[in-house]
Amino acid sequence: MKRELSDNILSLIGKTPDILMMGVAERVKERRLEKNWTQKMLATKAGISFSSYRRFEASGEISMRSLVMIAFALDMTDEFDTLFCGKTYQSVDDIINAEQSKQRKRGTKNG
């Protein structure tokens, strides 16, 4: 029951795990086609099975390791470096406090 409620809320904002996964699969397919590679060629370059790659394009389902291997094959690993990097803030006060903590701090004199 709890999962149904969660899925319904996510669908109201237009984001569900399935939609996100299919979006990634579609973008990978676009990069593959830009390079004029077949599904089999990309699977081979990524070191994953052809059937796994074909399923990924069709359903968006793939292991994290295989997705990273695809990113290596497409020379797009920088995308993973920025995943989950952005901080989230709950209020303006959180932003102000974060900026203040970034300011250089000096230690006290010993003595």
Residue 87 placed within a domain: no
CATH number where 25 lies? 1.10.260.40
Q: Tell me the residue range of the domain where 31 lies.
A: 2-77
pLDDT range class, residue 31, cuts 50, 70, 90: very high
Q: Is pLDDT at 111 greater than 60 in this prediction?
A: no
Q: Record the pTM.
A: 0.70
Nearby residues of 21 by Cβ (< 8 Å), 6 or more positions away: 59, 60, 61
Overall domain count for the chain: 1
Q: With beta carbons less than 8 A apart as the criterion, state whether 31 and 49 touch.
A: no
Residue 25 placed within a domain: yes
